[in-house]
Structure 1
Amino acid sequence: MKFDPWNAEFIAYPYDAYRDLRDNDPVSFFEPTGQWLIARHADVNALLRDRRLGRSYLHVATHEAFGREPEPEFQEPFWRVIRAGMLDVEPPVHTRLRRLVSKAFTPRMVESLRPRVRKIATELTAGLVERGGGDLLAEVAEPLPVTVIAEMLGVPEADRHLLRPWSADICGMYELNPSPEVQHTAVRAAAEFAGYLRELARARRDRPGDDMISALAQVVDDGDRLTEDELIGTCVLLLNAGHEATVNATGSGWWALFRNPGELERLRADPGLMPTAVEELLRYDTPAQMFERWVLEDVEVGGVTIPRGTEIALLFGSANRDPEVFADPDRLDLGRADNPHISFGAGIHFCLGAPLARVEMAESFGALLGLAPRLELAEEPAWKPSYIMRGLESLKVTV
């Protein structure tokens, strides 16, 4: 099978196509999206750190100068929210935003959340066990990170049901060639989420609480602070990036364990493997299969010159199965010690929430292994039709 991100069979198992690209065409132009596909780990890793590439080009050129059509006017509310966060901007704006947000989102703060994450994971798992099984994705994997992020931001419990649909709709815009319907849905979700957060942020500025929105509203560095739009864009990013990939990684991680029962038994017998197991599950079935960058200056990759103004697609899923870096890459090895996977990216855009994702996955898997020692797959799952944010529709299990 060739690279075909709209094909259900490819989405379910893209790794044979990736192997073909790495072996025969590691730097190739993909006509349907007008992107250069980069398949090898060394190239993907280097380009993530290369400042001749950017998540955006708008800090150095107009759409017209890059030979691009301006974004449709109806998308303006979406991009106003997204570009107020740090993911889709470049230095110096990115540097400033990351510095300010990092003052509130510290590793110590994340580690302090572990007992609460463990409690939530335990309660969700206990409910699944009490019901005799169900959809592990909907009943454990999804509510855990949503609850953690909602509590962290200070979103009232009564409003938390709004978050997951908003996030899923916004992320639809990041798929390859999204349909007009998906685009309009993403714009509506971004506008609604921004409006909701604006009211919440204003209330917290006046009456700060012990939550991330209050902390972000109070952060000051040499007199600099986040604007209201930047605070809102940051909160949207924290929700979307903070749970969408974690949900998918948890679902595909369990699916990988069910397909590799020897490794599942190994983890059950030795819970001390959990740190390396989490890293291996992130490598083995990468939740974000592709990340895109714009070429700001001509670059040469594998002997191919990629010109300024074009877009490259960094194939994380392929890089994480590269035999030049990973011994026996198609084998799941929960004790894999040398594991430089790039599921969290690299360079200045390395995922700020990586420590939280690791805590959530470790506590989620730990609770399920402890409280549901006979957890079994009830039926083979199906993959959602999305490629970039790749994940299962559901994961039915018995306990």
Structure 2
Amino acid sequence: MDAAAAFDPWSPEFVADPYPAYAALREAGRAHWYGPTRQWLVPHHADVSALLRDRRLGRTYTHRFGHEEFGRTPPDPAHEPFHTLNDHGLLDLEGADHARIRRLVSTAFTPRTVERLAPTVRELAAGLVDGLVAAGGGDLQAAIAEPLPVAVIAAMLGIPPRDEERAMLRPWSAAICGMFELNPSEETARRAVRASVEFSAYLRELFARRRTDPGDDLVSALLAVDGLTEQERISTCVLLLNAGHEATVNTTVGGVWTLLRHDAWTGLAPAGLPVAVEELLRHDTPLQMFERWVLDDIEVGGVEIPRGSEVALLFGSANRDPAAFGPTADVLDLARADNPHVTFGAGVHYCLGAPLARLELGAVFAALRERAPGLRLAAEPVRRPGYVIRGFESLPVEV
């Protein structure tokens, strides 16, 4: 049987537990053609890590090739607002444009800069957990996992708490991120286009306010520097909001679920939290796949992959590869010392927000262990259907 046949990203059963299929892919080879998405699946840690750093691949190809020249169909004109927003963001830029924008925004996310936020993040996490405890439980995702990172990144950007649009940040993000799933539907595209238009309009209005009344925030800083177009500023803010909370939300909820179902909640010791957070990021990766275009011919494990192809780097598989993590790769080990996971990527597109995500995850798990030591599931959670960005609809808990 073709190992790629077990890869079924639209199957709820596969999304719930893709790891046996990943093991079959790793056993069968290093690169597998997958017809339904016309991609090459790459499941091994060494290959994923190397290709993330390989400049023969890119998040886009338009800095070097036209669509027809690259053998690709141009995007649907009806989806233009989404593509304009997405294509000008840091994640999907390459070359000089990527380096220029990353240099301008990177100072906001250095470990030293992020550490200054630590007291605020810890206080916010403690308050949210206290609210859950006072209620006797509830949906951990809605009560803690979503509000914490959204509030932090919104405050960094300078989005006022009183703005009605702040309540729309998470729905806008969810709609836009729907386009990162495999073969998104036309309805998904329509939602993403609508969210792109509305989010962009809100940011233009916020920019106008900050130009006349600048503050100590990232939007004001972006407006003050030369070298950015208005669209690049908008796309940068949207990317920072989306990327700045999606992984944290899904790792918080998925991490609590993992700990509870492995009876490991009481083993989450405060002193070992940094190591435990890295293991939760590895063991059940929030971003299962990262895609790259092949800009120049490459070879993976004896398989020739020509220019114009797309590779699907399987982060979830790489993070369970025994070649990198030993015979206990499938085991949750909260004291795992050697943990070269690829959850935050690698190379020039390494996640800019990794220090902030680690701070937020450490703060929320510390607050939960201290204030809700008896945390337990109230019901089985329901997963969202998405595979690439993998998470839950909710996580009902009791305290």
Q: What's the TM-score bracket when you normalise by the shorter of the two chains? A: over 0.9
Contact kept in structure 1, 2:60 and 2:92, CA below 8 Å: yes
Counterparts of residues 178-217 of structure 1 (less than 5 Å): 178-217=184-223
Deviations along 1:203-243, whole A, 9 cap, x unmatched? 21222101111122223xxxx43222111111000000000
Residue correspondence of structure 1 range 208-247 to structure 2 within 5 A: 208-219=214-225, 224-247=226-249
1:293-308 equivalences in 2 (<5 Å): 293-308=292-307
TM-score scaled by structure 1?
A: 0.96
Whole-Å Cα distance in 2 between the matches of residues 395 and 356 of structure 1? 23
SS at match of 1:65: coil
**2:100 pairs with 1:96:** yes
Query: Is the contact made by 2:275 and 2:334 (CA closer than 8 Å) also made in structure 1?
Result: yes
**8 Å contact kept, 2:130–2:371:** yes
Matched, 1:153 2:154: no
Q: CA deviation at 1:289?
A: 0.1
Pick from 246, 258, 261 the counterpart of residue 259 of structure 1. 261
The alignment partner of 2:168 has SS state of helix
Question: Does 1:85 pair with 2:89?
Answer: yes
Aligned to 1:76: 80
- Shift in Å, 1:104: 3.7
Which deviations, in whole Å up to 9, do the C-alpha atoms of 1:326-364 show, x marking residues without a partner? 021111011101000000000000000000000000000
Within 5 Å, give how 1:241-390 maps onto structure 2: 241-261=243-263, 263-267=264-268, 270-327=269-326, 328-390=328-390
Using the alignment, how far apart are the partners of 2:74 and 2:65 within structure 1? 12
Residues 8-47 of structure 1: pairs in structure 2 closer than 5 A: 8-47=12-51
The aligned amino acid for 1:275 is P
Tell me the distance in 2 between the aligned counterparts of 1:101 and 1:374: 41
d(CA) in 1 for partners of 2:129, 2:355:
22
Distance (Å, rounded) in 1 between the aligned partners of 2:93 and 2:121: 31
Contact 1:97/1:226 (<8 A) preserved = yes
For residues 265-321 of structure 1, what are the alpha-carbon distances to aligned partners after superposition, in whole Å with 9 as ceiling and x for unaligned? 221xx3111000110000000000000000000000011110000100000000000
**One-letter code aligned to 1:251:** V
**CA shift at 1:109, angstroms?**
2.1
Q: Report the RMSD for the aligned CA atoms in angstroms.
A: 1.0
CA–CA separation in structure 2 for the residues paired with 1:163 and 1:378: 28
- Structure 1 residue 66, shift from structure 2 partner: 1.4
Distance 1:237 1:264 in 2: 33
Alpha carbons 1:104, 1:216 under 8 Å: kept: no
Report the counterpart of residue 140 of structure 2 in structure 1: 136
C-alpha distance after superposition, 1:224-264 (max 9, x if no partner): 43222111111000000000111011111011101111x32
1:178 to partner: Cα distance: 0.3
1:102-154 deviation digits (Å, cap 9, x = unpaired): 13443322111111111111111000000000011111001100111111111
Tell me, in whole angstroms, the C-alpha distance in 2 between the residues paired with 1:218 and 1:387.
39
Q: What per-residue deviation string (whole Å, max 9, x for no partner) do you get for residues 24-66 of structure 1?
A: 1331000000000000000000000000000000011011011
Q: Secondary structure at the match of 1:225?
A: coil
2:21 is aligned with what amino acid?
A
Opposite residue 123 of structure 1, the aligned amino acid is: G
Q: Is the 8 A contact 1:104 1:215 kept in 2?
A: no
Are the counterparts in 1 of residues 107 and 113 from structure 2 also a CA contact under 8 Å?
A: no
Match of 1:375, as an amino acid?
A: L
Q: Which whole-Å deviations, capped at 9, do the CAs of 1:45-104 have from their partners, x for residues lacking one?
A: 000000000000001101101111110111111111112221001011101110111134
Alignment partners' CA distance in 1, 2:10 and 2:295: 28
Alignment: residue pair count:
392
Whole-Å separation in 1 of the counterparts to 2:88 and 2:114: 23
Distance 1:74 1:68 in 2: 17
Counterpart pick for 1:53 among 52, 57, 61: 57
Aligned mates of 1:131, 1:103 — CA distance in 2: 39
Which amino acid in the other structure matches residue 374 of structure 2?
A: R
- Paired residues of 2:109 and 2:355 also in contact (CA < 8 A): no
Written as runs of structure 1 = structure 2, the 5 A alignment for 1:168-187 is: 168-187=174-193
AA partner of residue 369 (structure 1): R
Between the aligned residues of both structures, percent identity stands at 61
CA distance in 1 between partners of 2:153 and 2:86 (Å): 18
- Residue pair 2:89, 2:236 contacting (<8 A) in 1 also: yes
Report the residue type matching 1:165 in the other structure: P
Provide the rounded CA distance (Å) in 2 between the counterparts of 1:95 and 1:210: 24
